Amino acid sequence: MRPFISSIVAVGALAFVPAAPEPAPLRGFTAQSSALERSWEAKFRAIPEPKRMRDMMQRLAAHPHHVGSPYGKQNAEWIRDQYASFGWDARIETFDVLFPTPVERVVEMVAPTKYRAILQEPTVPADPTSSQHAEQLPTYNAYSIDGDVTGPLVFVNYGVPADYEELERRGISVKGAIVIAKYGGSWRGIKPKVAAEHGAIGCLIYSDPGDDGYGGGAVFPKGPMRPPRGVQRGSVADMPTYPGDPLTPGVGATKEAKRLDVRQAPTMTKIPVLPISYGDAQPLLAALTGPVVPSQWRGGLPITYRFGPGASRVHLKVKFDFGLKPVYDVIARLPGTTEADQWIIRGNHHDAWVNGAEDPISGQVAELEEARALGELYKQGWRPKRTIIYASWDGEEPGLLGSTEWAEAHADSLIAHAVAYLNSDSNGRGYLGVEGSHSLESFINGVEQDITDPESNVSSWKRNQAALVMRGDPDARAGGDLRIGALGSGSDFTPFLQHLGVASLNMGYGGEDDGGIYHSIYDDFYWYTHFSDTSFVYGRALAQAVGTTVMRLASADVLPFVFTNLAATTHRYIDELQQLRDRRSKEIDEERRRVSDSVYAIVRDPRDPVGAPRLQTPPPRFDFAPLLDAQDSLSAAAARFEKSYTAWRDGGGAAQERAQPGDGGAAGLAEVNRRLMRAERVLMLRDGLEHRPWFKHSLYAPGFYTGYGVKTMPGIREAIEQSEWGRVNGEIGRLAEAVNAEAALVKEAATLLQPR
Ligand SMILES: [Zn+2]
């Protein structure tokens, strides 16, 4: 069909426009079921309204609504009532979690100059909700321990491991010191973790204006960037070890759950931590003496950045109320018909650090509009095959509390019933970002092609493709599936994907908005409606994109997993790991040679001496053979599944059912889908990752030293990056086992789907 149409266009026969060709069936649908699905989807996408999203944002962000706040509870009840009014069965599930709030906060420089930090974000007169000080949480980092420490101050750049190597080469120790780190470069919880590993006694984290303040544009309220006294709140729990309530790892934080003592909770920080503004940081940094930092360490303040400590002494005191607080998860269900025991789950959090218009209400209002639109369709007679669960999570900000506790409390049913989890969080203008399970990569490419980008009026897929072409991506022009990124952490998909093995996607628009209000009192309705998706057309696009994804997953005849994309991705990761080993080997050899040739000693500036890096043992050769064999099996099984799928689709699917009941028909399809549901599950490592068994996915994990940033094939990758050579072959074996299990399952599904 296609070549014929395009040849007409090619000869210039534009005088008569041929009728639009019948589009190819949607993935997972027959020609017949696809046509029906498309007509319901078209109705669905016409329903979400920007004006409603704007009104809901104004309502939900009208007051601070953090965990344990009165307005947070009111929001949960209001959201529940919204779902109910849309025709969903909606209820609130409550968990009791550790949520520390500050009682006392002091940061002061006592020498060589005196300065007491203000630690307060001021009212901005133009911005009505910025004055709600009585309801706002103070500026702080949750899950810092109590502490009262005084010591010299050392500037550590972003405070990641590489920064401490630089300090070590200059002979600067942070032992017994308080460090001051910039926000950025890693997830914030990494900074106190690495500081404590190096012997620091306290940690300050500040937002440098070069990163999200005046360096990027006018500051709020003139522009979207961070004003001098704006502070980023946030959790500093050791979430790469496990997220959720620090007191109940692995189990739901129900009333009767066994709890750790706060002092035993392994994810609490080891040293006291407090975030500050650049207004408060400047006098501290300006008082530091010692050598000037390298150019990459410099920020945007009008001072000379130095390492310190010189004569500096800083006093840091924090004291917390370590009480339990309730989190209110809103869970709404729309029942399925023939496959009601298969669940499609979709979530976005509703709690914020303060008013949180962007984070998370911009995503929450899209989720609510989807729910309203799906409720509308239901009233018109639409019935999804599978059960749809919409969740509005509480407690995401302190540490994915609501989603993690719910996933842990319902682990057995989720393992038995969950097909996929779809997440969103903050939403803005620009490009549709999608990250997640690569078995859903091809499917989500199909969805993106049916969503119209409101600014360019092409599809969101086309706009993403154009952006990749601009970046010189060699594959983008070919027109095949665009790659999706892998998920690390930073939002509520983590317990589903990385703890339970539920195939997951995280979706959201962005890339055109800049801002410096993250986790401050200025992330509010005023800011969002002046500087972000001001007309809420991207809110509508997000509702259309995620809702379409939900509908397709809920009604597909064959669950739309495509394993050739997964196999191509694992192939790429294995190549990367082999290259990583070779690169590390070369680098280490080169360093050793420079030291033995006295290169460092010869080039050293005696007035600003920098030592040689610590020498490392070069890596041996690793045995990748078991993994390469498993990869071959997976590629073969994936290709075989595609062949079966094509034969099923071209045979008309349903027709097959009539011809041979119980074979390629309904009962057979149910068997196929039961296998497909388990496809992400079998990628889980039985004992989880080294040192952090809560994280079980063999392909995706947040980095132990990056936090949000993903490490793919994390067992092997982190062993190589951290020079733990003795662990690598064992990790290759564990991963090969998971990939082999995946290959066997996909092969089984292919055999079951193959028409006989
Ligand atoms: Zn968020």
Ligand 1 center–CA 348 separation, angstroms: 8
Q: How far apart are CA 556 and CA 543, in angstroms?
A: 20
User: 396 CA to middle of ligand 1, Å?
Assistant: 7
Ligand 1 geometric centre to CA of 721 (Å): 29
* For the chain, percent of residues with pLDDT exceeding 90: 92
Distance 359 CA to ligand 1 centre (A): 5
The residue with tokens 């012997």 is: 199
N residues, the chain: 756
d(CA 245, ligand 1 centre) in Å: 17
d(CA 254, CA 426): 28
Mean predicted lDDT score pLDDT of the chain = 94
Q: In angstroms, what is the span from residue 90 Cα to ligand 1's centroid? A: 22
Both tokens of 313, joined, read 């002494």
Q: What is the pLDDT of residues 469-490, one digit of tens each?
A: 999 998 899 889 999 999 999 9
659, pLDDT greater than 60 = no
Q: Range with the lowest mean pLDDT among 8-17, 207-216, 243-252? A: 8-17
Distance from the CA of 62 to the center of ligand 1, in angstroms? 17
Banded model confidence at residue 14, pLDDT cuts 50, 70, 90: very low
How far apart are the CA of 470 and the centre of ligand 1, in A? Answer: 30
pTM here is: 0.95
Alpha carbon 752 to its chain centroid, in Å, reads 35
Distance 367 CA to ligand 1 centre (A): 14
pLDDT of residue 8: 33
Please give the pLDDT value at position 397: 98
- Does a cis peptide bond (omega within 30 degrees of 0) precede residue 360? yes
Q: Where are the alpha helices (DSSP H) in 518-603?
A: 525-531, 537-555, 563-596, 599-603
pLDDT tens profile 598-645 = 999 999 999 989 999 999 999 999 999 999 999 999 999 999 999 999
Nearest Cα neighbor of 382 from 335, 318, 429, 314 is: 335
Residue the block writes with tokens 């410096």: 516
360 CA to centre of ligand 1 in angstroms: 5
Question: Per-residue pLDDT tens for 62-97?
Answer: 999 999 999 999 999 999 999 999 999 999 999 999
pLDDT value at position 665?
61
pLDDT on residue 667 = 74
CA of 271 to the centre of ligand 1 (A): 25
Q: How far is the CA of 687 from the centre of ligand 1 (A)?
A: 30
Residue 655 clears pLDDT 60, i.e. is over it: no
690 CA → ligand 1 middle, Å: 28
323 CA from centroid of ligand 1 (Å)? 23
* Average pLDDT of span 682-701: 97
Ligand 1 mean position, distance from CA 236 (Å): 15
342-369: pLDDT as tens digits: 999 999 999 999 999 999 999 999 999 9
Distance from the alpha carbon of residue 424 to the mean position of ligand 1, in angstroms:
8
Distance 363 CA to ligand 1 centre (A): 9
- Ligand 1 centre to CA of 354 (Å) is 11
Ligand 1 centre to CA of 542 (Å) is 15
- 384 CA distance to ligand 1 middle (Å): 29
Q: What is the mean pLDDT of residues 439-464?
A: 98
Measured in Å, residue 425 CA sits from the centre of ligand 1 at 5
- Could you tell me whether strands 386-393 and 339-349 are parallel, antiparallel, or unpaired per DSSP bridges? parallel
Q: Which residues contact 179 (CB under 8 A, 6 or more apart)?
A: 153, 154, 155, 156, 159, 191, 195, 200, 202, 203, 204
**DSSP secondary-structure letter at 159?**
-
Write down the pLDDT at residue 750.
Answer: 97
Residue 24 to residue 26: CA distance in whole angstroms = 6
Cα(686) to centroid(ligand 1), Å = 30
Distance, CA of 404 to CA of 249 (rounded, Å): 9
Distance (Å) from CA 427 to ligand 1 centroid: 10
CB 703 within 8 A of CB 240: yes
Average pLDDT estimate for 528-541:
98
CA of 187 to the centre of ligand 1 (A): 14
Checking if the pLDDT of 375 tops 50, the result is: yes
